[in-house]
Amino acid sequence: MHHARIKRREYAAFTRSTLGQIPQLKSLPPDRMLEMDAVSAVLPFRVNSYITDELIRWERVPDDPIFQLFFPQPGMLDPADLERLVSMLRSGVASPRFDQAVRAIQRRLNPHPAGQMELNVPSLDGEPLPGMQHKYRDTVLFFPSPGQVCHAYCTYCFRWAQFVGLDDLKFASRQTASLVAYLKQHHEVSNVLFTGGDPMIMRTSVLRRYIEPLLDPELEHVSVIRIGTKAPATWPYRFVTDADADDLLRLFEQVRKAGRHLALMAHFSHPRELDTPVVQAALRRIQSAGAVVRCQAPLIRHVNDRADTWADLWRAEVRLGAVPYYMFVERDTGPKGYFEVPLVRCYEIFQKAYRRVSGLERTVRGPSMSATPGKVIVDGVSEVRGEKVINLRFVQARDPDWVRRPFFAAYDEEATWLDQLKPAFGEREFFFQRSLRAMKAAGRSAAYGHRVVPRRKHTIFGHVEWE
């Protein structure tokens, strides 16, 4: 078999409470360890032995990109906040006061960007479904409760609030029945994305309870099941030598035999994550079970903010049978000041990397902002009517009519997010803003703002179509 040479590894996680037990950190000075402790009190920290033993090049720490990707860095907090927390830790301040200081910092870090709480939560029979999001017409996101943790936490995670105990800011659902009922009422939905956290943290027997109901013939309009995961990068043993790895692949095969497309939306941030024999074995096994691996990651300062890094990443993905899918812009949440890259610079990096690869790697889209109105692509910099502008367009949107409609922002070398841009040509606002205000006022998005009448089903050449 493909994985005959892969030695099984028992999963062992390190968190804030066991940070000092990581052998490779013994050489770091005490002050640096104290800073890491302070940062990990505010932002989630979890890493495992595969990352520490096989991915990080410790002789290059702290500049090693994988170390930056998973370990707390002092620059992730405002200097005054970091100094205050370190001082409290050093003086042994009582836990309640320290916890209060931590919570105050967390609340200032924009825990749920892009209208996730206000606009994305759908309802069923007048009752909200808090473990789901329906931002775009065709796609529903589902957050299974047992999947709201990861094998390791990326330092730049835009869903960091899921993992730090801010329960009022957490998406999670145990209600598969509600998901099925909602989908039966919304025949416009063709894609269901299981996300988190990381659904691949769940045992296969648990994951099966969420996925199998979607294979019901009554839900034929749900033609695509997606699983958002970083497990192939952070714990590839999940697909190779873990006790239920074979059962997981049988579940993948079951989805395919039911006539559904199965996509693993894999999160690879750096080409080194694709280098090890076990990750390559994992990708082979996933693909052999009929799943398609599509790869995405944000462009992050200190980790992958070089064109060569992205070109190498896309080439490696294609070589291993995966599909480059998205380059994202770092979201305006959490430690964004440490990781964000100006939009103009994001485009320059994307364009340089894109022109260095072949057509097969050019399936990738980006740089893309997952902003409140939708996914906005930074398409370039132009001069129009004598004015230097940033070209933008929606690749996905709350209102499908906005998709692929070009619009222009005044040139700005410093802007890192959509809300920092101003319309070009002296316009008062971007074309979508009036409609977006109406959605916010109504508390509903165009995607799911009304119950859609089920489409009539008919068959063409034996294939089910929906009008």
Question: Which of 363, 366, 397, 364 lies closest to 379 in space, CA to CA?
Answer: 366
Q: Report domain extents, the chain.
A: 13-107, 116-442
**199 touches 151 (CB < 8 A):** no
Q: Could you give phi then psi for residue 225, rounded to 5 degrees?
A: -115, 125
The pLDDT > 70 percentage for the chain reads 89
Per-residue pLDDT tens digits for 157-205: 877 666 666 554 444 456 888 999 999 999 999 999 999 889 999 999 9
Q: Identify the bridge partners of residue 374 per DSSP, sorted by sequence position.
A: 397
- pLDDT given for residue 117 in this prediction: 54
Q: Are strands 463-466 and 457-460 parallel, antiparallel or unpaired?
A: antiparallel
- Comparison of pLDDT for 277 and 109, the residue scoring more: 277
Confidence of residue 272 (pLDDT cuts 50, 70, 90): very high
Q: Could you give phi then psi for residue 332, rounded to 5 degrees?
A: -85, 65
- pLDDT given for residue 173 in this prediction: 57
- pLDDT given for residue 168 in this prediction: 47
Per-residue pLDDT tens digits for 287-332: 999 999 999 999 999 999 999 999 999 999 999 999 999 999 988 7
> What is d(CA 164, CA 168) in angstroms, rounded to the nearest whole number?
11
Question: Which of 249, 114, 129 lies closest to 182 in space, CA to CA?
Answer: 129
- pLDDT given for residue 332 in this prediction: 77
- pLDDT given for residue 27 in this prediction: 87
Q: Are strands 261-267 and 292-299 parallel, antiparallel or unpaired?
A: parallel
- pLDDT given for residue 162 in this prediction: 66
**292 touches 266 (CB < 8 A):** no
Nearest 10 degrees: CA dihedral of 347, 348, 350, 352? 160
- Comparison of pLDDT for 160 and 280, the residue scoring more: 280
Of 36-40, 88-92, 217-221, least confident by mean pLDDT is 88-92
Q: Could you give phi then psi for residue 465, rounded to 5 degrees?
A: -120, 155
> What is d(CA 360, CA 362) in angstroms, rounded to the nearest whole number?
5
Per-residue pLDDT tens digits for 122-154: 888 888 887 888 989 999 999 998 888 899 999
**10 touches 237 (CB < 8 A):** no
Q: Tokens at residue 429, please? A: 């606002």
How far are the Cα atoms of 31, 34, 62, 98, 374 from residue 38, in angstroms, in the given order? 11, 6, 17, 10, 34
Give me the count of residues in the chain: 467
Q: Are strands 463-466 and 374-384 parallel, antiparallel or unpaired?
A: unpaired
CATH number of 116-442: 3.20.20.70
- pLDDT given for residue 453 in this prediction: 34
Per-residue pLDDT tens digits for 407-455: 999 999 999 999 999 999 999 999 999 999 988 887 766 665 543 333 3
Q: Tokens at residue 368, please? A: 């893309």
- pLDDT given for residue 118 in this prediction: 57
Residue 146, burial from CB neighbour count under 10 angstroms (0-12, 13-18, 19+): middle
Question: Which of 257, 221, 180 lies closest to 465 in space, CA to CA?
Answer: 221
- pLDDT given for residue 165 in this prediction: 60
Q: Give me Rg for the CA atoms of the chain.
A: 22
Quick check: 401 pLDDT over 60? yes
How far are the Cα atoms of 108, 155, 408 from residue 302, in angstroms, in the given order? 23, 11, 29
- pLDDT given for residue 1 in this prediction: 43
- pLDDT given for residue 113 in this prediction: 61
Average pLDDT of the chain to the nearest whole number: 89
